[in-house]
Amino acid sequence: MLPNPNPRPKRHALAELPKLSVVVLSWNTRELTLACLRSLCEDRVGHSREVIVIDNASEDDSAAAIAEQHPEVRLVCNPDNRGYAGGHNQGGNLARGEYLCTLNSDTEVVPGALDMLVDYLDSHPDYGAVSPQLVNMDGSVQPACMRFPGLVTALCYDTLFGKFWPGSVVERRYFMKDFDHLHSRDVDQPPGAVFVVRRDEFLAMGGLDEELFLFFNDVDLCKRLWKSGRRIHYLADSKVRHHCGASTKGFRNYVVVWHKNRLAYYRKHYGLFAVPYIRILVRLRGIEEWFKIGRRQPDLEARRAERAELRAALQEILIR
């Protein structure tokens, strides 16, 4: 039997409140989520913590496996998929810790990593958030920090414009190709897979923007933190292993939702005039993909089917 999907928070004495609340969002990543929770169990804990798992209506028996193997976590089972933003906001509202860590289910925490992030914010009250260095399973560094996307970024990202100068310079700057990710520094947007913020500040800012269902919500939060005068730090000494992209690869409408969330982000931060601009860029990207399909798909029927899917995706993205 699964736990109550809407558990009622219990009253706790102040002394019992954890220092850190870790919120893990689970959606059809059963084995990855279990590995993530095992790493948390095996962690060297200096600060008291609680672990909250929000399961977004997984269909792979994730919730049952988590309840059986990790009874120590607080498991909430949603009847529907509330997305990355909605799920983490739900966890943030349930959290009791001074600090809140949003942790992707496709991560495995290296012992001591989360305590280092908490220590950093403890000793740097002028900082709003901190994230660790992400590493692959073989220990190599994942270059995950980025600068905030601007209007020119939208023109160059994932298009022909970004493959040649001067668009290639814009792309390199956006992806921080000038940074080796081996040392600590302040950044615009650190890896969203592991993000530690003061819980009260997170809630006061309204958490993640739920209009940004799956993408750009972490970018938006970082943008709002910086605008409010709060700095964000990348702490290279803290390391977390990351199965890059594993938590979203099964999402069927990945491309459509990414473009719709990008459109909403630009509308929010650049005003209504940015909307027709982004729509034009989506259409240009669609034309580019149309010709790519023709080059890579020699079979006529398969080519027609791919292009029909492309048309349908573009129509869904561009719906007002």
Res 12: pLDDT: 45
The model's pLDDT over 54-72, given as tens digits with 9 standing for 90+, comes to 999 999 999 999 999 999 9
Residue 5, domain member (yes or no): no
Q: Which residue has the tokens 């669609």?
A: 286
The pLDDT value given to residue 246: 60
Does the residue 62 lie in any domain? yes
Helix, strand, coil percentages for the chain (3-state, nearest 5): 45, 20, 40
- What's the burial of 87, exposed, middle or buried (CB within 10 Å: 0-12/13-18/19+)? buried
Asked whether residue 191 is domain-assigned, the answer is: yes
Interacting residues of 187 by C-beta distance below 8 A, sequence separation 6+: 145, 146, 147, 176, 179, 232, 233, 234
With contact defined as beta carbons under 8 Å apart, do 22 and 101 qualify?
yes
Question: Do residue 231 and residue 94 come from a single domain?
Answer: yes
Q: What are the CA-CA distances from residue 62 to residues 57, 75, 90 (Å)?
A: 9, 11, 18
Q: Tell me whether the omega of the peptide bond preceding residue 166 falls within 30 degrees of 0, making it cis.
A: yes
301 domain-assigned: yes
Indicate whether 115 and 58 sit together in one domain: yes
Q: Are residues 121 and 32 in the same domain?
A: yes
Q: Is the same domain home to 152 and 139?
A: no
Domain range for 271 is 254-317
pLDDT of residue 2: 44
- Would you give per-residue pLDDT tens digits along the chain (320 residues)? 444 444 544 444 445 899 999 999 999 999 999 999 999 999 988 999 999 999 999 999 999 999 999 999 999 999 999 999 999 999 999 999 999 999 999 999 999 999 999 999 999 999 999 999 999 999 999 999 999 999 999 999 988 899 899 999 999 999 999 999 999 999 999 988 999 999 999 999 999 999 999 999 999 999 999 999 999 999 999 999 999 766 555 556 889 999 999 999 999 999 999 999 999 999 999 999 999 999 999 999 999 999 999 999 999 999 86
Q: Work out whether strand 127-135 and strand 194-198 pair parallel, antiparallel, or are unpaired.
A: antiparallel
Residue 125 maps to a domain: yes
